[in-house]
Amino acid sequence: MSIPVIVNASGGTAASRGDKLEGELQKAFAEAGLAIDLQLVEGKGMQAAVDKAAGAEIVVLGGGDGTLGSAAGTLAKAGSALGILPLGTRNHLARELGIPLDVPGAAKLIAEAPRRAIDLARVNGHVFVNNASIGLYPDMVEERDGLALPKKLAALPAAFAAIKRMRHRRLHLRMPGQEQQIVTPMLFVGNNRYSLDAGKLGQREALDDGVLSVYAVASRRRLALLGFALRALIGRADPSNDFAAIGDVAELCVSGPSDDVHIALDGEVHALTAPLEFAIDPRALTVIANQA
């Protein structure tokens, strides 16, 4: 039977390849010995396409981390294994899973079909595969996405605009066995433990340890936070100065002065209602990837 291959044609690398993409994909999977049902879908149609394909033994998704995160819960519930074509901007999950970043290499791995189970994280029913953040980062993403510029060129004006209207959030955190009040411009929640070691920032020690890692950005003046904002947008934050580790937990509840919260899940901004209830689903998703 043909394997469903659903590609977010409007995002990241896929959009830049334009009309060449379909031929590249067909050729790569044919050379890997796989018959596929290829669907090139605009972003808004991805969820409907995933819902229809869910239940197949393997469902291949092409896109970035936001695309993967949005579909992961549906595929996990249906029992489908996720094959990944890294066609996003940064492809954090694919890199951490050791998936080749070129289309022929990724197709070959999918044909070989090695499998492993990884954790999924949830907040108020929304799934994320990498991380979630409240505060400064989702503000910057919204500013950046509102500019008619490539992401790299939009980073500086977006950071300036977000810092200008930035406010420190007074948040109440409730975790198993403890409660804590914090004041921070940004709260970060990772699906598993993120390293704060120099040279390893943004990398996880494991994808199946069954914990949420919780960090707060140090509270600072606007000028100092501008440097952090720029480093964060290009993935080069300074762990020793920018973050304070709060802990590794299985559950987390976050509340604050406002019931309406904009939160970034795998780089995509969502509007949710507080309190925010975070949880981890151990080994909930099967992915096509070599064992760690």
Cα gap 140→161, rounded to integer Å? 8
Residue 13 CA to residue 75 CA, distance in Å, equals 23
Strand partners, 86: 63
Query: What is the rounded CA–CA span in Å between residue 87 and residue 38?
Result: 15
Neighbours of 45 (CB within 10 A): 15
> Model-level pTM?
0.89
Q: What are phi and psi of 127, to 5 degrees?
A: -95, 145
Residue 161, pLDDT score: 73
pLDDT of amino acid 229: 65
Q: Across all residues in the chain, what is the average pLDDT? A: 89
Distance in angstroms between the alpha carbons of the first and the last residue of the chain:
29
Please say whether the beta carbons of 138 and 263 come within 8 A: yes
pLDDT of residue 205: 83
Q: Closest Cα partner for 189 from 261, 235, 229, 129?
A: 129
Confidence of residue 165 (pLDDT cuts 50, 70, 90): confident
Q: Give the separation between CA 265 and CA 138, rounded to whole angstroms.
A: 9
Task: Reply yes or no on whether the pLDDT at 84 is more than 90.
Answer: yes
pLDDT band at 271 (very low <50, low <70, confident <90, very high): very high
- How many Å apart are CA 233 and CA 59, to the nearest integer? 31
Confidence of residue 13 (pLDDT cuts 50, 70, 90): confident
Q: How confident is the model at residue 174 (pLDDT cuts 50, 70, 90)?
A: very high
Cα dist from 103 to 22, 61, 97, 130, whole Å: 11, 12, 15, 22
Question: Cα–Cα distance between 183 and 216 in angstroms, integer?
Answer: 9
> What span, in angstroms and rounded, lies between the C-alpha atoms of 255 and 187?
12
User: Which sign does the torsion angle of CA 8, 9, 13, 19 carry?
Assistant: positive
Please say whether the beta carbons of 78 and 47 come within 8 A. Answer: no
Higher pLDDT, 281 or 184: 281
The architecture CATH gives domain 3-113: 3-Layer(aba) Sandwich (3.40)
Check if the beta carbon of residue 182 is closer than 8 Å to that of residue 206: no
pLDDT at 144: 77
Pick the closest to residue 290 from 120, 115, 106 (CA basis).
115
Of 46, 37, 36, nearest to 9 by C-alpha is 46
Q: What's the whole-number mean pLDDT along residues 256-261?
A: 91
Task: Name the residue ranges covered by the structural domains of the chain.
Answer: 3-113, 128-282
- Would you say residue 221 has pLDDT above 60? yes
Distance separating alpha carbons of residues 243 and 240, to the nearest angstrom: 7
d(CA 258, CA 145): 24
Q: What is the pLDDT of residue 201?
A: 57
**Torsion angles phi and psi, residue 27, rounded to 5:** -65, -45
Third-level CATH fold of 128-282:
Tumour Suppressor Smad4 (2.60.200)
Q: Which range, 63-77, 153-167, 237-251, has the best average confidence (pLDDT)?
A: 63-77
CATH topology match: 3-113 vs 128-282:
no
Residue 198 has pLDDT above 60, yes or no: no
Q: For residue 188, what pLDDT band results from cuts at 50, 70 and 90?
A: very high
Q: State the Cα–Cα distance between residues 11 and 21, nearest whole angstrom.
A: 12
More confident call, 202 vs 283: 283
CA angle, 175 then 178 then 180, to 5°: 85
**52 pLDDT band (50/70/90 cuts)?**
very high
Give the residue-averaged pLDDT of 222-250.
73
